[in-house]
């Protein structure tokens, strides 16, 4: 990697909202001087992009491999919640992510997971209580208390929840929020407890309600949850209270772009350049107190060089004065990642997936493409031999959750809008506890898909009339240790295979993973049964 001592170009000064021809001098990894110049090369120097909220695990890549792709898109830092691996491995998983981020050049900033397990209504692989959270927050490697998903616990003053928030306040570190749909007095109460951000707004009025009470809104555009289109008007009205984030980014999408895509979209819509750049870089650095440079004298020499302010094609990404990526090529070498996992599920039989009953209306989860939320409906389904069956003709399939941490009965229900005609898909990326989630047209297909992942101890699988595909994820059942571009290729292949089976969703596996996310309304599936995320209690699968 080349070490820069100086670089010249049109410098984007986001602090004084100006562009000036300048030479940036670098010494010992920091900016030592910014000197105006009369003539400079035809290129632009600007702060690098920051993803203000992401679960690196959802890229299915370890941090080092994530960096090798994201650096090429001009991402210099992330605010990363290791909640996913923590639900599998506990504090050991948090430390794993910190260790794998070392020497990755990209500046990862991890939080202390606040909700492990996310709820008491599912089986996770670990528990991180208030004492462990406080110990994590005392570490210099931890920058904030990660998303407080248990907003009912905040509103009820739950003792453990409030202890975790108090620990963050005592450590002088911000608290991230997660409260989809919360408005009015309850939103005010949630914010008053010390919650500073929310990335779950899916309607403009919801975001405006939270903004007026001082909360900062993260505009999210991930692989499954896409809220930019609903929220982008805020860039014109409340730019000082916004940040950009992806939350969850699958590897094939990461190959195409990252926060740079949101910058381009915003500029194409006519939003002011300096507002957009502050949202994409300055505001997350300031809010979380990140040790990331913002093109000022004395700052770490973290910045990007782009060809112009129309295309924003990244020519160089510089971290601490080192050119770590240039024109789509990252200079970080591939590095072998150790395997850590927790997986105890034994092979299953088709009858393990049976749902017994007859002649009653059945509750059905209704998936919503591009959203974490679901709807619900009740309908009649076919029966046979005393069992309730899926109805692919009505696009109603069966969905099951298998406890991966210990042997237990399989919980099954029904779901609409995945579109499979014959076959099944399965995943151990299943937010938040990451049990084995499988969906299909009948028990035999589902059993086959589940057993493929039990054999691999984690990953993604699809089986159908054209054969089967598997993407192994041996690290916690969430990540691959392979080269990121190869993982992206394999993911694109299995994604295309599922769509050939009839699935019409934009991101089938990402959408599947959120069907077990109990903290997002309305109806979801736990390894313990069907769950009503509005009433926050288990729901009856069939009418009495």
Residue 494 or residue 369, greater confidence: 494
Do residues 378 and 362 touch, judged by C-beta distance below 8 A? yes
Q: How far, CA to CA in Å, does 256 sit from each of 18, 108, 252, 266, 489?
A: 30, 20, 7, 17, 12
Which of 213, 203, 151, 139 lies closest to 176 in space, CA to CA? 151
Residue 25's pLDDT is what? Answer: 98
Q: What is the mean pLDDT of residues 275-297?
A: 98
High-pLDDT (> 90) share of the chain, %:
91
pLDDT of residue 1 exceeding 70, the answer is yes
- Residue 122 and residue 245: Cα distance in Å, rounded? 27
Residue 15's pLDDT is what? Answer: 96
Tell me the per-residue pLDDT of 450-464, one tens digit each, with 9 for 90 and over. Answer: 999 999 999 999 999
Residue 252: burial class (beta carbons within 10 Å; 0-12, 13-18, 19+): buried
Q: What is the mean pLDDT of the chain?
A: 95
Q: How far, CA to CA in Å, does 224 sit from each of 57, 177, 188?
A: 15, 19, 28
Residue 372's pLDDT is what? Answer: 82
Structure tokens at 533: 């995320």
118 pLDDT tier (thresholds 50, 70, 90): confident
Residue 538: burial class (beta carbons within 10 Å; 0-12, 13-18, 19+): middle
Counting Cα atoms < 13 Å in the Cβ hemisphere of 184 gives 0
Tell me the per-residue pLDDT of 20-51, one tens digit each, with 9 for 90 and over. Answer: 999 999 999 999 999 999 999 999 999 999 99
Residue 544's pLDDT is what? Answer: 62
291 pLDDT tier (thresholds 50, 70, 90): very high
Residue 300 or residue 120, greater confidence: 300
Residue 358's pLDDT is what? Answer: 76
Structure tokens at 38: 């009369």
- Residue 70 and residue 76: Cα distance in Å, rounded? 8
312 pLDDT tier (thresholds 50, 70, 90): very high
Which of 64, 40, 63 lies closest to 335 in space, CA to CA? 64
392 pLDDT tier (thresholds 50, 70, 90): very high
Residue located via tokens 């003539």: 39
Q: Please, what is the Cα angle at 124 between 245 and 104, to 5 degrees?
A: 40
- Residue 362 and residue 519: Cα distance in Å, rounded? 22
Q: What is the mean pLDDT of residues 348-357?
A: 95
Q: What is the mean pLDDT of residues 250-275?
A: 96
DSSP string, 191-240: HHTTEEEES---SHHHHHHHHTTT-EEEEEB-SS-B-HHHHTTHHHH-GG
Tell me the per-residue pLDDT of 464-490, one tens digit each, with 9 for 90 and over. Answer: 999 999 999 999 999 999 999 999 999
Per-domain boundaries in the chain:
48-291, 350-538
pLDDT of residue 102 exceeding 70, the answer is yes
For 48-291, which CATH superfamily applies? Metal-dependent hydrolases (3.20.20.140)
Which phi and psi (to 5°) does residue 29 adopt?
80, 5
Structure tokens at 358: 């007859």
* Eight-class DSSP state of 333: P
Q: In DSSP terms, which residues pair with 325 in a beta bridge?
A: 317, 330
Which of 318, 267, 243 lies closest to 71 in space, CA to CA? 318
**Least confident stretch, 141-150, 224-233, 262-271:** 224-233
Question: Does residue 258 have a cis peptide bond before it, meaning omega lies within 30 degrees of 0?
Answer: no
- The CB density around residue 407, as the number of other CB atoms within 10 Å, is 9
pLDDT of residue 228 exceeding 90, the answer is yes
Tell me the per-residue pLDDT of 507-540, one tens digit each, with 9 for 90 and over. Answer: 899 899 999 999 888 999 999 999 999 888 999 9
pLDDT of residue 269 exceeding 90, the answer is yes
Counting Cα atoms < 13 Å in the Cβ hemisphere of 329 gives 4
- Residue 63 and residue 95: Cα distance in Å, rounded? 12
Q: What is the bridge-based pairing of β-strands 216-220 and 195-198?
A: parallel
């Amino acid at each position: 990697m080349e070490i820069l001592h100086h670089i010249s170009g049109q410098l984007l000064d986001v602090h004084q909202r100006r562009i000036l021809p300048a030479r940036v001098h670098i010494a010992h990894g920091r900016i030592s001087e910014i000197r105006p110049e009369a003539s400079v090369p035809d290129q632009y120097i600007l702060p690098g992009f920051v993803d203000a909220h992401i679960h690196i695990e959802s890229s299915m890549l370890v941090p080092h491999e994530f960096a090798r792709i994201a650096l090429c898109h001009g991402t210099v830092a992330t605010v990363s919640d290791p909640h996913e691996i923590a639900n599998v491995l506990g504090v050991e998983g948090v430390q794993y992510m910190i260790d794998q981020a070392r020497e990755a050049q990209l500046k990862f900033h991890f939080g202390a997971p606040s909700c492990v397990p996310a709820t008491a209504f599912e089986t996770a692989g670990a528990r991180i209580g208030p004492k462990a959270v406080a110990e994590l927050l005392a570490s210099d490697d931890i920058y904030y208390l990660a998303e407080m998903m248990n907003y009912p616990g905040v509103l009820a003053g739950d003792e453990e929840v409030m202890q975790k928030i108090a620990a963050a306040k005592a450590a002088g570190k911000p608290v991230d929020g997660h409260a989809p749909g919360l408005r009015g007095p309850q939103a005010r109460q949630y914010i008053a407890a010390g919650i500073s951000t929310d990335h779950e707004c899916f309607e403009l009025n919801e975001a405006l309600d939270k903004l007026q009470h001082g909360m900062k809104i993260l505009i999210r555009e991930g692989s499954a949850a896409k809220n930019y289109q609903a929220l982008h008007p805020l860039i014109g009205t409340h730019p000082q209270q916004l940040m950009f984030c992806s939350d969850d980014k699958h590897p094939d999408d990461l190959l195409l772009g990252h926060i740079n895509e949101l910058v381009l979209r915003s500029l194409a819509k006519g939003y002011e350049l300096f507002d957009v750049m502050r949202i994409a870089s300055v505001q997350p650095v300031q809010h979380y107190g990140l040790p990331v440079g913002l093109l000022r004298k004395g700052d770490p020499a973290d910045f990007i060089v782009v060809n112009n302010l129309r295309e924003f094609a990244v020519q160089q990404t510089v971290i601490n004065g080192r050119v770590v990526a240039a024109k789509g090529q990252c200079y970080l070498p591939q590095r072998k990642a150790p395997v850590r996992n927790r997986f105890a599920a034994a092979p299953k039989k088709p009858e393990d997936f049976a749902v017994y009953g007859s002649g009653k209306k059945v509750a059905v989860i209704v998936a919503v493409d591009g959203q974490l939320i679901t709807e619900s409906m009740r309908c009649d389904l076919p029966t046979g031999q005393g069992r309730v069956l899926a109805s692919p003709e009505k696009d109603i399939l069966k969905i099951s959750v298998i406890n991966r941490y210990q042997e237990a009965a399989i919980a099954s229900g029904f779901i609409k809008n995945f579109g499979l005609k014959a076959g099944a898909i399965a995943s151990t990326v299943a937010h938040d506890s990451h049990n084995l989630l499988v969906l299909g047209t009948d028990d035999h297909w589902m059993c086959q898909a589940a057993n493929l992942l039990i054999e691999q101890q984690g990953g993604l699988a699809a089986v159908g009339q054209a054969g089967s595909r598997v993407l192994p994820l041996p690290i916690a059942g969430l990540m691959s240790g392979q080269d990121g571009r190869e993982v992206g290729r394999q993911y694109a292949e299995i994604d295309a295979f599922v769509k050939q089976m009839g699935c019409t969703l934009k991101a089938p596996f990402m959408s599947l993973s959120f069907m077990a996310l109990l903290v997002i309304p309305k109806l979801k599936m736990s390894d313990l049964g069907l769950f009503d995320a509005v009433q926050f209690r288990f729901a009856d699968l069939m009418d009495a």
